[in-house]
Amino acid sequence: MEPDFFDAFLPPYPGGRVLGTFDGGSGMTDDAAGLTPANGRIRLIGDTAEEAFFAYCRDVEAAGFPCRYESADEGGVYRAFGCGDRFLYAYFVPSEGVVRLICDRAGLLPADFAEAGPYAPESGAALMQFGLYYSAMIKGTTCDCGMMYVLRLPNGEFVIVDGGEREQATDAAVEEFLTRVRALAGGDRFTVALWFCTHPHDDHMDFFIKLLRVCRDTMTVRRLMFNFPAMGLLGNADAAMYAARLRARLGQYCAHVPFLQPHTGERFCIGGAEFRVLLTHEDVLHADGRAYRGVNETSTVLKIDFAGQSLLLLADIPEENAEKLLARYRIPTLACTYLQAAHHCINRLEELYKNVPADLVLIPEELNIIKDRMRDNFAVICRYHQPETIYCSGNGTVVFSVRNGGTVKTERFPVVGGAYDGSDL
């Protein structure tokens, strides 16, 4: 990988001030042992304006890199340029006066990854918050975090978001998961149009890792999506180990599955649903050299519109990320039908819960644990949402069947499985 990619291959940015240049993610390639040819580069340019950004975009095209994606919203102006075996993703954030230039060498452009089909607001769909077993955090026995969501798309295929920790992925829990998905699929075989992992923590991937092995003959995976930071910048040995374990399993079962490394501002459709990337780890890089404060800060925030409803996935974002969301986007952009409460109710985020309208709040945690350890944070959520609109995954699986913009049926099922049964991932 060329450490001076921007200077060697692209025209200079007109004006502004370089705040920092960082290593980027490596996609499906394991970079736990060091940088790989798949790792990209990220450059931050401050003290700039929209006119300079557009001038730079014209210079990039003149240099032989055609524009292949463009979008704009109140949060920013976004462009992607084809660069042979790599592409440049560039975007300007008016509220910050900052341009981010991202050399992506690991993933596809949305046009090559998603579908041309439109969003289908009048079609049927279903959303499941899968019930995981939560208890005290005792490594190798029980776990007090983890989250897993399943969206049945209007076309009958599925989106799976994350997957609980190893201790939650017991054989009984996996069988219950398959029972619920098969009921939604109407048969034993099912297709995952997209698996999306929000960030490299084991409680957001292990369950899916096991599914890849257990369901290798009945589950077809068509797309993969995640944006993990360069492990060297993250500086977390556990996260590097978790990401390496995931990538090894994906390499075993999904080596040729199309992969997208999502970037802020990308919008695309799959199976009649619209996906919108609102925030990634590339938005929280710190110019003072600290890179990232922690793994949760690298969570990707995604909004999915389906069948006239919407799901806002906050993953495990801390307060700083929530502040960026509120600073960049208008309230109608963040408003949703289903709001996933951040970080298992561990993070307070009062301004976000106060300002983002949502019909229902989904908390990936068990209610008694919340009341015992996160009582004040839960009180914040209850301040703005009625108790009957709050669903905790540790208290059971809930399935919302949706048609033409309304919930037509809500089903509940008890949590199945308990402490870790020693089964392999």
Q: Inform me whether the pLDDT recorded for 297 exceeds 80.
A: yes
Reply yes or no on whether the pLDDT at 2 is more than 60.
no
Return the residue matching tokens 């809930």.
398
pLDDT score recorded for residue 9: 82
pLDDT interval class at 394 (50, 70, 90)? very high
Position 86 scores a pLDDT of: 75
The length of the chain, given as a count of residues: 425
Distances in Å between the Cα of 46 and the Cα atoms of 21, 49, 57, 263, 287 are: 12, 9, 16, 19, 10
Top CATH class of 125-413 equals alpha beta
Contact (CB, 8 A) for 398 and 128: yes
Position 290 confidence tier, pLDDT thresholds 50, 70, 90: low
315-344: per-residue pLDDT in tens? 999 999 999 999 999 999 999 999 999 999
Q: Which amino acid is located at 23 in the chain?
A: D
Asked whether the predicted pLDDT for residue 243 surpasses 50, the reply is yes
pLDDT on residue 1? 42
Looking at residue 287, what is its pLDDT? Answer: 63
pLDDT in the model for residue 335: 98
In this prediction, residue 117 carries a pLDDT of 81
Distance between first and last Cα of the chain: 33
Q: What is the mean pLDDT of the chain?
A: 95
Kindly indicate the confidence band of residue 8, based on its pLDDT and cuts at 50, 70 and 90.
Answer: confident
Around Cβ 425, how many Cβ atoms within 10 Å?
Answer: 17
Q: What percent of the chain has pLDDT over 70?
A: 98
Q: From residue 116, how far is each of 9, 177, 309, 355, 415 by CA, in Å?
A: 31, 31, 20, 33, 38
Range 84-87 contact pairs with CB under 8 angstroms and sequence separation of 24 or more: 86/40
Residue 285: is its pLDDT beyond 80? yes
Phi, psi of 242 (to 5 degrees): -65, -45
pTM (2 d.p.): 0.97
What pLDDT is attached to residue 289?
61
List the domain boundaries for the chain: 5-106, 125-413
Instruction: Please give the backbone phi and psi of residue 219, each rounded to the nearest 5 degrees, phi first.
Output: -115, 120
